[in-house]
Amino acid sequence: MSFSIDAGELVGLIGPNGAGKTTLLRSLLALVRRRAGAISVLGTPAKRGRSSVGYVPQRHEFAWDFPISVERAVLTGRVKRIGWTRQPGLADWRAVRDAIDRVGITDLHTRPVEELSGGQRQRVLVARALALEPTVLLLDEPFTGLDVPTQELLTDLFVDLAREGEALLMTTHDLGSAVATCDRLLLVNQTIIADATPAELSSADAWKRTFGVRDSSPLLTSVGVR
């Protein structure tokens, strides 16, 4: 794969299960060793650029039974800046509070994370990534299992972050929402099938090649193509 994402873009990473979407995100975080090629973040190798990258993993990847409050869970997103041995300072707590406010869970900041609903937990993960004050934000299936109001809140937040100059790359199975809100879509299945704006993907061909579906598939209707 070869692509780039500019500041101010919300890019959807779209493809079937097993297409390599999560592996790609982990490669960008230097968590998966690449066999060839190069990855750069803000012009530096990915490993050095990680301090500028916020990551929202899939919800099951977080230990929700760990005895920790919402505020402390969000603070873990600052570890790259604080370091493992230093105590958080005023700027760290301010970043945590701002992130919690931004995702709309201010009233839950002292609640244990194990007591949260699925939608509240997803907001914690987003706040945790925002607490880093990242330049790049990677989101792995942020809408899975959420009710419509929470999906809309997070969608509006991601669009706002892009307009404020962040670069966002998001995997999602909510194809209709991705077409409606993303600036660009990367259709992938082991490689990039298409890299274009939603308007440029108005024919069915690239979608069929990406997902391996037939002409009559409801998937094509969901993305507004024929």
pLDDT tens string, the chain, 226 residues long: the values are 899 999 999 999 999 999 999 989 988 888 888 888 888 888 888 777 778 899 999 888 888 999 999 999 999 998 877 776 778 889 999 999 999 999 999 999 999 999 999 999 999 999 999 999 999 999 999 998 888 999 999 999 999 999 999 999 999 999 999 999 999 999 999 999 999 999 999 889 999 999 999 988 999 998 988 7
Per-residue confidence (pLDDT) for residue 200, from 0 to 100: 94
pTM of the predicted structure, to 2 decimals:
0.92
**Host H or E run for residue 41:** strand 40-41
Per-residue confidence (pLDDT) for residue 196, from 0 to 100: 96
Per-residue confidence (pLDDT) for residue 45, from 0 to 100: 83
Q: 10-222: what CATH class?
A: alpha beta
- In sequence order, the β-bridge partners of residue 11 are 169, 184
User: Tell me, what DSSP letter sits at residue 155?
Assistant: H
What is the domain partition of the chain in residue ranges?
A: 10-222
Question: Hey, what amino acid is at 117?
Answer: S
Per-residue confidence (pLDDT) for residue 124, from 0 to 100: 96
In the structure, how many helices (H) and strands (E) does the chain have? 10, 8
Overall size of the chain counted in residues: 226
